Amino acid sequence: MQLLLIRHAAAVDVARSDSERELTAAGRADFAASVSGLGSLGLELTRVLHSPYLRAAQTAELCRPLLHDPESGTAVEPCDDLAAVPSSRLFRHLTDPEASVALVGHEPWMSELLVRLTVGDGGSAARLGFRKGTVAVLRGSPEWGGMSLHGFLPPDVTRALGEGA
């Protein structure tokens, strides 16, 4: 399985509630350029799961051009498990070993999820510089310690790849 862990793009600082914060215009534009860069690497997705928070849902929708079937209405879906401390409950959504799935969420949970998937112990996961719009590419078995890191792409790198496409 291939997993892309994606921290949501830049969002407004103030809203009625944290869950209702939306992407800024610059955040949308920057992440759309990042998606173009990811496409230039040949990355293709079968599904995109996202936190139910608005900014994650909007970031996930921007990933639609990477989907094998971009018109599929069920390929971009909310997942409550991405708006909480990482737990093995997430694995029930990751059952196809041939799939390429993006998980769009928030800090500090993306850093912890990355550490737990690659090392197995996330008890004291240090912040990994998982800036807004960063993408980590993992491959292997979706279980604690079952995956390896194949790329850690900050947004300036993926945007630059998009400009060269």
Structural domains in the chain (count) = 1
**Looking at residue 105, which CATH number applies to its domain?**
3.40.50.1240
Burial 49-62 (b: 16+ CB within 10 A, else e): bbbebbbbbbbbeb
Tell me what the pLDDT averaged over the chain comes to.
92
The 10s digit of each residue's pLDDT in 84-132 is 999 999 999 999 999 999 999 999 999 999 999 998 876 555 667 789 9
**Nearest-CA neighbor of 34 among 164, 133, 130?**
133
Domain containing residue 72: 2-164
pLDDT at 44 over 90: yes
The pair of three-digit structure tokens given for residue 106, joined into one six-digit string: 């928030």
- Strands of the sheet containing 135-140, edge to edge, are 76-78, 47-50, 100-105, 2-7, 135-140, 147-153
In sequence order, the 6+-apart residues with CB closer than 8 A to the CB of 97 are: 1, 141
User: Looking at residue 23, what DSSP letter applies?
Assistant: B
Q: Model-level pTM?
A: 0.94
- CA-to-CA distance for 141 and 41, rounded, in angstroms? 22
Residue with tokens 């997430």: 90
Pairwise pLDDT comparison (159 vs 121), residue with the higher score: 159
Beta partners for 3? Answer: 101, 138
